[in-house]
Structure 1
Amino acid sequence: MAALLCAACLAACSAPQVREPPIDPDVARAEIAKRIPAATKNREGWAIDIFAAFEALSIRPTPENICAVLAVTEQESTYQVNPTVPGLPAIARREIDARASRYKIPQFMVNTALGVESPNGKTYRERLEKVKTEQELNDLFADFIGMVPLGERLFGSFNPVRTGGPMQVSIAYAEEHARDKRYPYPMPGSVRDEVFTRRGGMYFGIAHLLDYPVDYPDMLFRFADFNAGHYASRNAAFQSAVSKLTKTSLALDGDLIIHGSDQASKTELAVRSLGSELDLSEREIRRDLSLGREEAFGQSAVFERVFALADKRLKRPVPLAVVPNIRLESPKITRKLTTEWFAKRVDQRYDRCLARQQK
């Protein structure tokens, strides 16, 4: 028997690993193009940039991955590199006035600064009144900060345009990703500038959507994470399990601790109340919860023990992913929208994309 077991182990160890078939770039680009809505201009150009991002990020262009990217792009911009934002001049002016009030800068000084002639020959006020896209607004603020003394005082290095490109990716995320991984294109300007190009906007958007490991049962949860932050759906499920165990009302927002503070969050306090059942100290709980924005939290002691306890006490498996309950807040948003609304809208587009077989 021992000899047979040894032989079986050796056979298993020596068995060749199954390799995924090589990718034919022409076939992959054609597959992407055919799933882009027929009315979209330059479908082939979009397909080239999307496939290049998949290649650079080592993400296979499966129908599921392709349609996930296209669904987010259609939701966020309807395939416009720089989508127009209704009412953008008024939104931008409110941002300027709000920051002026915060720094106690008189309104007449703001008006004087906006009356200064900008590098393109128009005053900043004239340019502000005509902006239609976030890229135009981004360029305006970059000039304003660099050329006008009050612009530096108002904004410093902070540009209030925080998202951009066809997938409306966070510029802060793009800058962080570029520090960790080599950007595959020549970059004559900044990462911020690249986000406003089709190639850069798609690259960083695809990275944010797909370039992190999760074990979700449905793409819906990646869409929620795209809106709420990586692992937000996993963390919301953890909060839901803790809430059921402690009979405590917790916000299912994916934020497990108060970052930058020693103060315990409501979630942390609830987990602490389970400390004896989990056989974990407050220090150990804090250590594990601090991993909430990382893959490692899913293998932590507090994560595994909370779900094991919930399954046992509730006599059924509790979900390991829950769409976060977050109200979307942005100067661009004028309606009551939530992460759930966003995720479900994108998921509907995703299903339609999977069913699309146009030529």
Structure 2
Amino acid sequence: MKQRRLLAAWTLAATLAGCATTGPLESRPSPTLPPAPGSPTPRAPADIDRPRPVSPAPAPIGTAPTPPAPPPIPSAQDGRALIARFLPPGVSDREGWATDLHTAFTALHLSLTPDTICAAVAVIEQESSFQADPAVPGLPKIVWRELEARRQRYHLPRLMLDAALLAPSPDGRSYRARIDALRTEKQMSALFEEMISEFPQGKTLFADYNPVRTGGPMQVSIAFAQDQIREKPYPYPRRGSVRDEVFTRRGGVYFGVAILLDYPAPYSRLLYRFADFNAGRYSSRNAAFQNAVARLSGQALTPDGDLLRYRDGAPSSEPSATYSALSTLGGRLGLSPAEIARDLRLEKTSQFAQTPLYIRIFTLADSLDGRRQPREILPEIDLKSPKIQRKLTTAWFAERVDARHRTCLGRDRSFAP
């Protein structure tokens, strides 16, 4: 029995590893979040996508100007009521969603404005249609298709595979029956966690190999959530692991709002934050940097927002295409290879835009034809996942969420753009 369970676990682990879904950060892993101290104070996202108010007339000479009054901070009740006004019609438990969103904004000290509320609402709509644990259509078929591909790759006899999957799992059902009943990523994650704890030496064999890397109503990367909880206090009492919290509505909303809004990014439109949500923080800024490097070096670069190669969330020693292109510009930049590498390692932080490398690249690029080059563009990334049945891109995701954001603002006509 133990041997059958081990074979089933090994086979299912190999199979499910190919079924990891594409979420906000999964396909674009980022290193550990930079420390909060010393980071520039983020401009409230509410200021990004709204028309600028007309400046008041200057005060008479000799008169000290009166500083503008800070916007009033709504009470918890008023804040929840404001959020509820922007939720889509037909959402179940509107009060619960409004409460979880309000808690996330409050815990992260984010401005509660129509723009920021609708940014979070638009992502939830896109990722889960306001379902705390959204179903993945055809999930058993996806698993079986990948299982057969893995069986062929490892030359396993079909009879051996079938026999292994008939072994009983901890709940009494066979692994075959469990796979056939899968509907959500939470269920698939729980099945894998059971294998880790149930099988002999399961922790040794399968620790850190749970294939479900995103989850919850905003499809948050579990790796991001684990980083986030080390950086800032979690506003709820923990009921289990961080992974378990991601699959709850409250946890999924908190981590989703954090990755979307809780970082400084001087973008002209929220569109680029939506792209970052899908591709990784600062991917839109970094894609523009790659575009400038390509123009200066004459080397073709795909502006995907990753300036370095990564392995397991850490920079790899293998040179990236962007680094190789920059190496040809070292003399014009007045930077050594070590200095270029030093600055590139800040690519996932706000500080990268203040590095000598970033400043000199754009100084040279702007001087090519006397035009200021864009500091933000949509990354060119094809989204790949077993559950994606057609060609989708990060640009598609960002534009789709941006359209939902505009629709959300229109739910309260006083805030419609």
Q: Does 1:285 align with 2:336?
A: no
The higher-RCO structure (CA 8 Å, 6+ apart) is 2
**Other-structure match for 2:394:** 339
Which amino acid letter does the alignment assign opposite residue 336 of structure 1? K
Aligned to 1:228: 279
Superposed displacement of residue 97, structure 1 = 5.3
Q: Judging changes above 3 Å, is the alpha-carbon distance between structure 1 residues 55 and 131 closer, same or farther for their aligned structure 2 residues?
A: same
What's the TM-score, normalizing by structure 1? 0.90
Residue aligned with 2:115, SS: helix
Which residue number in structure 1 is paired with residue 12 of structure 2? none
- 2:238 is equivalent to residue 187 of structure 1: yes
Higher helix share: 1
Q: Matches of 2:228 and 2:242 in 1, distance apart? A: 10
Hey, what does 1:202 align to over in structure 2? 253
Q: Distance in 2 between matches of 1:158 and 1:182?
A: 26
Q: Mapping of 1:1-359 within 5 angstroms?
A: 19-96=70-147, 108-149=159-200, 155-259=206-310, 260-357=315-412
Q: Name the aligned partner's letter for residue 189 of structure 2.
A: N
Give 1:165 shift.
0.5
Verify the 8 A CA contact 1:311 1:318 in the aligned structure 2.
yes
Identity of aligned residues (%): 51
Maintained 8 Å contact 1:84/1:134: yes
Moved more, 305-314 or 155-164: 155-164
Q: 1:138 to 1:276 in 2, by over 3 A?
A: same
Deviations along 1:279-337, whole A, 9 cap, x unmatched?
11111111111111111111111001111111111211111111100000112211111
Structure 1 residue 148 displacement after superposition:
3.2
> 1:100, 1:154 within 8 Å by CA — same for their partners in 2?
no
How far residue 120 of structure 1 moved from its aligned partner, in angstroms, is: 2.2
- Deviation at 1:116? 2.3
Partner Cα separation in structure 2 for residue 268 and residue 236 of structure 1: 14
- Secondary structure of 1:183's counterpart equals coil
Q: CA deviation at 1:102?
A: 6.9
Amino acid aligned to 2:89: A
Q: 1:79 and 1:104, CA in 2 relative to 1: closer, same or farther beyond 3 A?
A: same
Residue of structure 1 in register with 2:26 after alignment: none
- Give me the whole-angstrom Cα distance separating, in 2, the residues matched to 1:99 and 1:289: 37
Deviation at 1:171? 0.9
Tell me how far 1:42 sits from its aligned partner: 1.1
- Secondary structure of the residue aligned to 1:322 is coil
Aligned residues: 348
1:82 touches 1:166 (CA, 8 Å); kept in 2?
Answer: yes
Q: Which residue of 1 aligns with 2:46?
A: none
Q: Is the 8 A contact 1:174 1:204 kept in 2?
A: yes
Secondary structure at 2:382's aligned position in 1?
Answer: coil
What does the per-residue CA deviation read over 1:64-93, in whole Å, with 9 as the maximum and x for residues that have no partner?
Answer: 110000000000000011111111012233
Distance of aligned partners of 1:16 and 1:35 in 2 relative to their CA distance in 1, 3 Å threshold: closer
Which is worse superposed, 16-25 or 261-270? 16-25
Partner of 2:14: none
Q: Report SS of the residue matched to 2:392.
A: coil
- Give SS of 1:22's match: coil
Q: Following the alignment from structure 1 to structure 2, what is the Cα–Cα distance between the partners of residues 107 and 189?
A: 38
- Work out the CA distance in 2 between the residues paired with 1:28 and 1:102: 54
Corresponding letter in the other structure for 1:26: Q
Counterpart secondary structure, 1:234: helix
Moved more, 97-106 or 72-81: 97-106
What letter matches 1:24 in structure 2? Answer: S
Change (3 A) 1:45 1:154: same
The CA deviation at 1:19 is 4.2
> What is the CA-CA distance between 1:264 and the residue it aligns to?
2.0
Which whole-Å CA distance do the structure 2 matches of 1:84 and 1:142 have between them? 19
Cα-to-partner distance string for 1:202-225 (whole Å, 9 max, x where unaligned): 001111111111111000000000
| 1:113, distance to aligned residue in structure 2 (A) | 3.6
CA contact (8 A) 1:32 1:66 kept: yes
Give the root-mean-square deviation of aligned CA atoms: 2.5
Work out whether residues 168 and 205 of structure 1, in 8 Å CA contact, stay in contact via their aligned partners in 2: yes
**Amino acid in the other structure paired with 1:244:** R
CA distance in 2, matches of 1:103, 1:181: 43
Instruction: Name which of structure 1's ranges 93-102 and 271-280 shifts more when overlaid on structure 2.
Output: 93-102
| Counterpart code for 2:364 | L
Residue segments in structure 1 that go unaligned for 5+ positions in a row: 1-7
Match of 2:383, SS state, is coil
| 8 A Cα contact 1:145 1:157, kept in partner | no
TM-score normalized by structure 2? 0.78
CA distance in 2 between counterparts of 1:107 and 1:290 reads 47
Q: Runs (4+) of structure 1 moved beyond 3 Å?
A: 15-20, 93-113, 148-157
Q: Which amino acid aligns with 1:236?
A: A
Q: Report the more deviating stretch, 257-266 or 107-116.
A: 107-116
8 Å contact kept, 1:103–1:154? no
Structure 1 position 265, deviation (Å): 1.5
